[in-house]
Each structure stands twice: as C-alpha cells, then as structure tokens.
Structure 1
C-alpha cells in the first residue's frame, strides 16, 4: 500500500518521469542491487529528461518551422559557400543570446529556408523560443491586425521570441503601410533579440526594395538589420534539382 501511495503522490505532484521510473525500478530485479543514492539519482534523471523533451516539443510546435532540418545534416559540398567552422560556431547560439542578426542570401532552391530552419531547430534544442514567419504572410496578418485592433499584441508576440526567422524577404512588393509595419517589427527586436532573414535579393539591392520613393524607412530598417550581422551567401546549383537528379539515378 505504501508503494502504491507513493506512486499516486508522484503523479499528483506531476512528477511523471519519476513516477514512471519508480514503477520501472519496482519491476526490475536488478534495481534492488543499486544503492539508494543510485536509484534516487535515476529517478531525478528520468524526470529531468521528460521535462526537457516536453519543453523541446512545445518550443518546436510554437516555432512552426517550415522544414524538418537540423545542423547535423547540413550539406557542406564544395561550391555551396558554407564553412564547417563558421557553422559550428553559429550552432552554439551565442549570436542569438547576444541579440545579433543573421542574413542568408542565395538563388532559388539554394537551401536558404532549410538552413534557417536548421538554426531554428538548434535554438529550440538549446531552450530558446523561435518563430518562423514568411514575410508576405506576416505582412498580410499585420495589415489585418490594424483593422481588428490586435496590431500591438501581435507586435509584442513577435518582439519577445528569442529568434525570429523572416523567410522570403524581397519576394513580394511592399506598400507604404507594409514598410512601416516591417520597421515596427524590426525596431521592436533591435534591443537584444535576434532576427534571421532569408532572401533571394543580394543585400546591395535591399535599399531600393525597401525605399521606393521614401529612403528614410529603408535607411532605418537597414541600419537595424545589417550592421554587425552574420552573413551567409549560398551558391551553386539548386538543391531541389540535385535531389531530383539523385532520385532519378537511385
């Protein structure tokens, strides 16, 4: 009865990992040969592992990453413009914790989104919050939020995540409202929050894309995004074409 009561209390206290590990120990003949300290340490380890797994699941669900990518699977074939040492350093996540930005540019199919999602996945595994946003859809959502009064709430949500991934920058035209909305998003994150941008446009073309006839907004956005930013320029043949060729030969 005492054992059943102990298990019940562990579940009531939401110590599910310890409860399950305790039940496993009771069913294991070898567990009795371990010391109290060893058995108790195993219970604590199971609880910590369960909580970490659940936290990672929550972070990944909230991130809504477009690609199931991880840094261990990055393709470093020659000609892509990727250096193992640089990626290994970036994978440590210090740039995110320090609120620095990253810009990934390259032609269609070069793997920009996949690489961004790999860094997003890595950040989640390190306990940081991530939000993946395609810029065209993000700007549509912000435009709607002006009419229903939720703009500031959405801005606050975007401002608090540790890493904001903005995908497809430069893919669709901007109007005056969307330019100012983008500036508000970038401005809200300019003090200690990291932003990762992917774009087909080379950085040298960003000012004309953002500015149109008003260079003030373009200057403000670029000043916050580009200065002190990690830059990765992907090169080479489309990864989609290469995967297609591989599937044909296989």
Structure 2
C-alpha cells in the first residue's frame, strides 16, 4: 500500500494527474490489473493526454470570456422560421474557415440569437485548440480608446492580433468615429494575418459602410473583412420573446 501511495504522489508531483487517476482506476478494477504492462501503461498515457486536452480547452474557454459560455453548436435551434441553412452551418462547424483564416459574419434583427450562435462557434474554436477572444463592439472600442489614453495600446494590440478567433459582437451601435477608425484598422489588418474574425450585427452588410465616420477607413476595413467571409443571416421571431412565452 505504501508503494502504491508513493507512486500516486510521484505522478501528481510530476504533473501527471491524468495518469494518477488512471492508475488508481486500474487498482480498483481487477480485470485491468491482469493486462500486460504495455497495455496498462498505454491506458495511463491515453488518460494523461485526455486530461491535458480537457484542461487546455477549459483554459481557452475561460480566456475567451464568452457571454454565453454554455452555448454549443450541438444545441442550435434549426426551426424553419430562423432561416438557417443547416448544411452550411454544419460545414462551418468543422471550422475549416478558421484554419484558412477566413471570417464569419452573423446578421439578423435583435434577439434572433446572433450572440448565442457566435459564442457557440467560440466554444467550438476552443475545443479545437484555437485561442479565442469575445468582446462586444462597444467593449472593444472602449478598450482601444482607453488604452490609447493611458499608453497601454501596444499591449492590447498584441493581445488582440495574436488571437486566432476575435469575436466582435453587435457591430454598429454607436458607429465608428474618426479617432477610432485608424486604430481599429491597424488591429484588424494585423489580426487578419494571424487568425479570423467573427462579427455579429443587426445591420446588413450593405449598411456597414455608413457606420464609419471616415469613408477611406471604411473601405480599408471592410475590404479586409467582407471579401473573405462566410455569412449567415438569422431570421424569425426574437428568441428572447419565445423563451419568455414558454416560461
């Protein structure tokens, strides 16, 4: 027994908690103890890999700060009134667009589930090992302007441009000022070389140009965003109202 406890402690001290749990499981299952050393070691190594992958995903999800942290693509509501193209959504679920550094745009009226779906894609990205960052457009723009004022913009810029999936939720509220435009352009230009954008907006894409105070900046940003984007438009009655009717 002392030897068993010592082995367990050693595994934990070495940071092999997955192997320690698997080792204890083997001790409690006589049929596993009858397996060869190679088989038992293999099972322990598999458990360690699984444990590390789980911890990594948990870290990525926590770091993403998703508003709807429990949203997952398996729970998407495909009712006909929402107008979702199921085959397109299923293909986007594989996240090949992320690997190719393409973008995803979700549009629709307020309450149609854009934020929830964006967070579901954020969770999927974390599962696949992509670093993810969620911000509402207002939060992001405020962070950029405040960091410029207190001279921390370089730090924020590095954080944003190294993110493999940057989610900008609810683009359009308040518009994009002449002061903000060049700063946002620099971030989007550099981030697009490293990863992808997921943008939600209640404004259709053909109205985005009018959100910018500076038309030159608008051209530059939209050229980088729209031309390599997949688009989904959500329709139907407000999901919030529908949930309220059920309660």
Normalising by structure 2, we get a TM-score of 0.94
Q: Report 1:135-146 matches (<5 A).
A: 135-146=137-148
User: What CA distance in whole angstroms lies between the structure 1 residues aligned with 2:84 and 2:194?
Assistant: 26
**For the residues of structure 1 that align with 2:228 and 2:57, how far apart are their CA atoms?**
30
In the other structure, the counterpart of 1:109 is 111
Cα contact 1:124–1:130 (8 A) shared by 2: yes
What is aligned with 1:57? Answer: 58
Shift of 1:5: 3.5
Greater alpha carbon shift after TM alignment, 182-191 vs 58-67: 182-191
SS in 2 for 1:230: strand
Per-residue deviation, 1:233: 0.8
SS in 1 for 2:232: strand
CA distance in 1, matches of 2:44, 2:144: 47
SS in 1 for 2:27: helix
CA–CA distance in structure 2, aligned partners of residues 44 and 9 of structure 1: 15
Output the CA distance in 1 between the equivalents of 2:90 and 2:189.
29
Comparing 42-51 with 53-62, greater Cα deviation is found at 42-51
Q: 1:105–1:201: 8 Å Cα contact kept in structure 2? A: yes
SS of the equivalent of 1:231 reads strand
* Greater mean alpha carbon deviation, residues 38-47 or residues 130-139: 38-47
Structure 1 gaps, min length 5? none
Q: Secondary structure at the match of 2:179?
A: helix
Note the alpha carbon deviations across 1:132-164, whole angstroms, 9 max, x for none. 011111111111111221101101100111100
Distance in 2 between residues matched to 1:137 and 1:28, nearest whole Å:
52
The 1-side partners of 2:130 and 2:183 are apart by 25
Show structure 2 runs of 5+ residues with no match: none
Q: Which residue of the other structure, out of 61, 83, 86, is the alignment partner of 1:84? A: 86
Deviation of 1:2 (Å): 4.1
What's the CA shift for 1:189?
Answer: 1.4
For structure 1, which segment, 72-81 or 7-16, has the greater mean C-alpha deviation from structure 2 after superposition?
Answer: 7-16
For 2:167 and 2:7, locate their aligned partners in 1 and report how far apart those are by CA, in whole Å.
46
Aligned to 1:39: 40
- The DSSP-based 3-state class of the residue aligned with 1:90 is helix
Question: How far is the alpha carbon of 1:206 from its aligned partner?
Answer: 0.7
1:174 maps to 176
CA distance in 2, matches of 1:233, 1:9: 54
Match of 1:16 in 2: 17
What's the CA shift string for 1:23-49, capped at 9, x where partnerless? Answer: 222233332222222211221121111
Q: CA deviation at 1:228?
A: 2.2
Equivalent residue number for residue 29 of structure 2: 28
CA separation in 2, counterparts of 1:131 and 1:182?
16
1:243 aligned partner: 243
The reply to whether residue 228 of structure 1 matches residue 228 of structure 2 is yes
- 1:179-200 CA deviation, whole Å, 9 max, x = no partner? 2222122112122410000001
- Cα distance in 2 between the residues matched to 1:61 and 1:194: 19
Which residue of structure 2 aligns with residue 193 of structure 1?
A: 195
Tell me by how many angstroms 1:178 deviates.
Answer: 1.6
Query: Is the contact made by 1:97 and 1:162 (CA closer than 8 Å) also made in structure 2?
Result: no
Taking the aligned partners of 2:5 and 2:82, their CA distance within structure 1 comes to 59
